[in-house]
DNA sequence: TTCACTGCAAACAGTTTGCAGGCGC
DNA sequence: GCGCCTGCAAACTGTTTGCAGTGAA
């Protein structure tokens, strides 16, 4: 239930890089894991387990592959609202998210752009906030204006 | 799926206040609604639907009562992590939350204490963040230190 | 007396788990 | 060939929905 250690986060530039790390850990590059990785490398944004499964894999296997890859530090996921988790490769340009709870708009921004906010939170509460796994939720500019009537 | 209007948020100081608003809306103060409200008025913090149900109510009815009360603006709920939603009365000292994703610690702070953070977010992204429904997630000071090894 | 509500059961979505067999190393 | 890992089925959690019947106004 706890999250990836992020300790020795290697650069995973290809499926083979991940495979090597996998084997170093006593693991194996199996068909589901390879397919999941290939799909993630080809994806242009975070995608669901269901999308990763397609018609060729059991959802179960996808979840197990993702769990293992997340442990390795090669994959991470984000929860936007109540919808299914969205998975992506670590090291893809790291992005963090704001979600409007009224219109469900998702604003994805480069992680650095939230460093000011993060600093303010750390100063005030000691927390190092990470908006890549759970987003900032609130009202976007338009919905906030609409709400004011 | 959208949230309460918050438009004419009355002060609900007692079950009777809510009952009145309920009737004004063409609704009724039924047994499940009364029990839910009494429990919420007696509670000293946000609680789950299951706790609200106890042994005397169907969970279904609790969820339906909560939905209606949330519509009225008398109740709200927060999601901390993947656990069940936690419900409380609106107008109880408004609190917002930070959650550590490693040790699951929950830090509850008066909403005003996050106004600085909120201002920074609004300035940078136009979003009016609301951490009462979804918290700020990250590492608490101790876990952040531990992570650094 | 009416119809907004309830209880009960069943569905739901996303995810996890148990187990017998299969394949990467 | 060993045993990590898969497919399949079934469980699980939190929540929602359908429906016949009940009780608040």
Chain A residues lying within 8 Å of B129, measured CB to CB: 98, 136-138
- List Cβ neighbours of B52 (8 Å cut-off, separation of 6 or more): B35, B36, B39, B40, B62, B66, B87
Cβ(A51)–Cβ(A77) below 8 Å? no
C-alpha to C-alpha distance for A100 and A74, rounded to whole angstroms: 29
Residue B3 pLDDT greater than 70, yes or no: no
**Count of Cβ atoms closer than 10 Å to residue A149 Cβ:** 6
- List Cβ neighbours of A49 (8 Å cut-off, separation of 6 or more): A59, A62, A63, A66, A84, A85, A87
Q: What is the pLDDT of residue A114?
A: 97
Q: Is the CB of A64 under 7 A from strand C?
A: yes
Q: What is the pLDDT of residue A82?
A: 87
Using C1' positions and the CA of A85, the closest nucleotide is C14
Arithmetic mean of pLDDT, B29-43: 97
Q: Is the CB of A19 under 7 A from strand C?
A: yes
- pLDDT beneath 50: ranges in chain A: 1-8
Burial of B132 (0-12, 13-18, 19+ CB in 10 A): buried
Residue B81 pLDDT greater than 90, yes or no: no
Q: Is the CB of B15 under 7 A from strand C?
A: no
Select from B125, B128, B131, B99 the least CA-distant residue to B113: B131
Q: What is the pLDDT of residue B149?
A: 67
Reported pTM: 0.88
C-alpha to C-alpha distance for A122 and A67, rounded to whole angstroms: 29
């Amino acid at each position: 239930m706890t999250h990836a250690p992020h300790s020795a986060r290697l650069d995973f530039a290809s499926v083979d890089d991940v495979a090597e790390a996998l084997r170093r850990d006593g693991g194996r590059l199996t068909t589901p894991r390879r397919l999941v990785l290939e799909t993630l490398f080809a994806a242009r944004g975070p995608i669901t387990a269901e999308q990763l499964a397609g018609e060729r894999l059991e959802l179960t296997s996808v979840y197990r592959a993702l769990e293992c890859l997340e442990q390795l530090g090669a994959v991470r996921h984000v929860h936007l609202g109540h919808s299914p988790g969205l998975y992506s490769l670590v090291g893809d340009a790291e992005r963090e998210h704001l979600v409007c709870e009224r219109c469900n708009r998702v604003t994805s921004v480069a992680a650095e752009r939230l460093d000011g906010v993060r600093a303010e939170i750390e100063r005030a509460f000691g927390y190092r906030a990470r908006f890549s796994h759970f987003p900032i939720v609130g009202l976007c500019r338009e919905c906030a204006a609409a709400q004011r009537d």
